[in-house]
């Protein structure tokens, strides 16, 4: 699968192919293979993020488990909402935050941060694998592991075939993504950059703490890209305001570069929304970043 | 250079070869290539750390430059000591620290942390390249770039040839090592883990700040190994107390593993010292970690 078969013929596909041709062909725009670094946001760029982040589904199930195991906990939030399947409570916490009231968000963050506290990183990974082994997307009628966008998986392969090294750079959990990125995207764990809680080392093992470490979003994305790779990417793909700085960083270097914005405008096959992407859409227009319309540029959205 | 030519025949070399044979041969001890992760401390393990850390030489030169550019600064420490070439002041700061007096160490740390504040990461890398292009070791009569240990470079190549992926995991500066690790060790920047100051992103570029981010030593080493790779190593090499946890982490997994401790006991060809390695020597004896005697196990120490 090294062809962009699920990309419709048109200016977006041509721009990608032209860019890759330029940097891989001897001449003034040639970029050495070791400098061909590509970075991809995950939620909404490589896999579906609606109606809710996949990781939120995972966490709500965990909170419900914790509530079932501890009646005292079950009487408090966010465990009560999780046990009752009251997903609106979680959405309201975010809405209240945007309206200036952080009270529910703080309660939610405390629950999320402590959800795996004390568990070894290996056991945590096993829980994530068990989740992905059976969890289904609530409306698309497919497992979450089949919710990656086929054109983007083809793009990952296409870049790789052309000597690029792909990294995932997501606001989602680093250790949440790692157990599935190799099979879903061909991206191994050492090339997954994401948010994380702190870890602590004792008795030969690493365990999850309840302390936040990184929130890998916005200006933190370029900082973590450099921290992890020591390189400035030449290709970046994203879909939301949190990807602006990563795309700026990628396109401000001395080499040829490309930024690609995924626009969710396909109600029939996926979802249509611009909430959370208002500023990046504007920046794309100002900076001539390429915009991929899911509706127009993708002949297929998901694999069979 | 895929043979361990500079290792003397004996139990240490045999143990390395046997371990690599076991994990690469079909059978109960076979480890898949993607899980063959090897981690190496740098100062005193891959390159010479005496009479002073190479990075300290780099930093003192920078402090002297800053003193020359700013007479007000030159009247204060650590700039005064740097400008006067008073290296004893730097040693005393550390000695005082071990005697319970942190006053000089705090002054030193402030100078070190702010040495490159505001500089872009690319310009910082250029300064490091310029330093390594000409700086000489003060007593060994060779450039710093020729101060890597030949047997360890051979070991890196030997592991790589056998499907391992090598990482450097050092208490030294991540961005200080990166410009030379590819040419000196064949380890690219994305596989260099080390201490760092924070970075900030603005106007498309990353700049160094004066805020510490990681001190990659002791229990932080396994935390950062997981953070960067999502894997537990099966091979670790170190030489000081700061490597204990990395070696514990490596040897506490479910796979076959090996920990190798470099013992500096060669006054003639390098240096002989155990200061800073007292606890790790004891742990090596308790845990049957392999100890490489520079004097007995290495037929050569440096390349020509």
pLDDT band at A2 (very low <50, low <70, confident <90, very high): low
CB contact under 8 A, B252 and A222: no
d(CA A232, CA A251): 9
End-to-end CA distance of chain B: 14
Return the sign of the alpha-carbon dihedral for residues B285, B291, B297, B298.
negative
Strand A235-238 relative to strand A205-214, pairing: unpaired
Q: Are B178 and B187 in contact (CB under 8 A)?
A: no
The nearest alpha carbon in chain B to A179 belongs to: B230
Taking only the tens of pLDDT, chain B with its 304 residues reads: 469 999 999 999 999 999 999 999 999 999 999 999 999 999 999 999 999 999 999 999 999 999 999 999 999 999 999 999 888 898 888 888 878 898 998 999 899 889 999 999 999 999 999 999 999 999 999 999 999 999 999 999 999 999 999 999 999 999 999 999 999 999 999 999 999 999 999 999 999 999 999 999 999 999 999 999 999 999 999 999 999 999 999 999 999 999 999 999 999 999 999 999 999 999 999 999 999 999 999 999 999 7
B-interface mutation test, from A201, A231, A245, most B Cβ less than 10 A away: A201
CB contact under 8 A, B252 and A205: yes
B chain contacts of residue A226, beta-carbon cutoff 8 Å: 121, 199, 206
> What is residue A1's predicted lDDT score, i.e. its pLDDT?
47
What is the interface size between A and B, counted as CB pairs within 8 Å?
A: 81
A-interface mutation test, from B230, B236, B248, most A Cβ less than 10 A away: B230
B chain contacts of residue A223, beta-carbon cutoff 8 Å: 198-201, 206
Side by side, the strands of the sheet bearing B37-40 are B205-214, B192-202, B165-173, B37-40, B235-238, B258-263, B290-293
Q: Which of B201, B203, B230 sits opposite A223 (nearest CB)?
A: B201
φ/ψ bin of A85: left (φ > 0), alpha (ψ from -120 to 50), beta (otherwise): left
**Residue A67: partners with Cβ closer than 8 Å, 6 or more residues away:** A73, A74, A79, A80, A82, A83
Q: What is the largest CA-CA distance in chain A?
A: 68
- Angle between helix axes B220-229 and B244-251 (nearest 10 degrees) is 50
> What is residue A85's predicted lDDT score, i.e. its pLDDT?
87
CB contact under 8 A, B252 and A203: yes
The interface predicted TM-score of the complex, written ipTM, equals: 0.95
Distance (Å) of CA A71 to CA A59, A65, A75, A77, B123? 18, 11, 7, 12, 58
> What is the residue-wise DSSP string for A258-297?
EEEEEE-B-TTTS-B--TT-HHHHHHHHHHT-EEEEHHHH
pTM assigned to the model: 0.96
> What is the residue-wise DSSP string for B182-205?
HHHHS--GGGEEEEEEEEEEETTE
Q: Mean pLDDT throughout A215-244? A: 97
Q: Which of A189, A213, A252 sits opposite B230 (nearest CB)?
A: A189
Residue percentage of chain A with pLDDT more than 90? 91
> What is residue A129's predicted lDDT score, i.e. its pLDDT?
98
Residues of B with CB under 8 A from a CB of A: 34, 121, 174-175, 178, 188-190, 192, 196, 198-206, 213, 219, 222-223, 226-231, 245, 248-249, 251-252
CB contact under 8 A, B174 and A252: no
State the nearest Cα–Cα gap between B229 and chain A, in angstroms. Answer: 4
CB contact under 8 A, A252 and B205: yes
Q: Which two tokens stand for residue A262?
A: 């995924």
Q: Which of B198, B213, B223 sits opposite A206 (nearest CB)?
A: B223
State the nearest Cα–Cα gap between A6 and chain B, in angstroms. Answer: 30
> What is residue A98's predicted lDDT score, i.e. its pLDDT?
78
CB contact under 8 A, B198 and A245: no
Phi, psi (degrees; rounded to nearest 5) at A260: -125, 125
CB contact under 8 A, A219 and B200: yes
For the stretch A236-250, pLDDT in tens is 999 999 999 999 999
State the nearest Cα–Cα gap between B200 and chain A, in angstroms. Answer: 7
For the stretch A67-121, pLDDT in tens is 999 999 999 999 999 999 888 898 888 888 878 898 998 999 899 889 999 999 9
A chain contacts of residue B178, beta-carbon cutoff 8 Å: 230
Residues of A with CB under 8 A from a CB of B: 34, 121, 174-175, 178, 188-190, 192, 196, 198-206, 213, 219, 222-223, 226-231, 245, 248-249, 251-252
d(CA A28, CA A133): 47
- Taking residue A291's Cβ as centre, other Cβ atoms within 10 Å add up to 19
- Angle between helix axes B278-287 and B244-251 (nearest 10 degrees) is 20
State the nearest Cα–Cα gap between A186 and chain B, in angstroms. Answer: 13
Q: Mean pLDDT throughout A115-130? A: 96
CB contact under 8 A, A252 and B178: no
The nearest alpha carbon in chain B to A249 belongs to: B204
């Amino acid at each position: 699968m090294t062809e962009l078969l699920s990309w419709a013929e048109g200016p977006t596909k041509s721009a990608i192919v032209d860019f890759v041709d330029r940097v891989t062909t001897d001449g003034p725009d040639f970029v050495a293979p070791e400098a061909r670094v590509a970075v991809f946001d995950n939620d909404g760029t490589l896999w579906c993020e609606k109606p809710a982040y996949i990781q939120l589904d995972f966490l709500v199930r965990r909170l419900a488990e914790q509530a079932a195991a501890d009646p005292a906990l079950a009487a408090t939030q966010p465990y009560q909402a999780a046990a009752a399947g009251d997903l609106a409570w979680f959405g309201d916490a975010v809405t209240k935050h945007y309206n200036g009231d952080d009270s529910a968000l703080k309660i939610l963050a405390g629950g999320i941060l402590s959800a795996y506290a004390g568990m070894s990183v290996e056991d945590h990974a096993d829980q994530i694998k068990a989740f992905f082994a059976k969890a289904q997307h609530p409306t698309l009628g497919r497992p979450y592991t089949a919710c990656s966008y086929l054109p983007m998986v083809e793009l990952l392969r296409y870049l790789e075939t052309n000597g690029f090294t792909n990294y995932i750079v997501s606001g989602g959990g680093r250790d949440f993504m790692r157990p599935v990125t190799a099979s879903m995207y061909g991206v191994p764990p050492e090339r997954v950059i994401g948010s994380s809680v702190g870890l602590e080392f004792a008795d030969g093992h690493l365990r999850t703490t309840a302390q936040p470490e990184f929130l890998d979003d916005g200006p933190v994305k370029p900082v973590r890209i450099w921290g992890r790779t020591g390189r400035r990417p030449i290709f970046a793909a994203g879909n939301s305001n949190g990807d602006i700085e990563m795309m700026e960083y990628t396109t401000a270097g001395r080499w040829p570069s490309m930024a690609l914005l995924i626009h969710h405008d396909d109600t029939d096959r996926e979802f249509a929304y611009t909430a959370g992407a208002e500023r990046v859409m504007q920046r794309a227009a100002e900076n001539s970043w390429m915009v991929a319309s899911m509706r127009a540029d993708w002949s297929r959205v998901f694999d069979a």
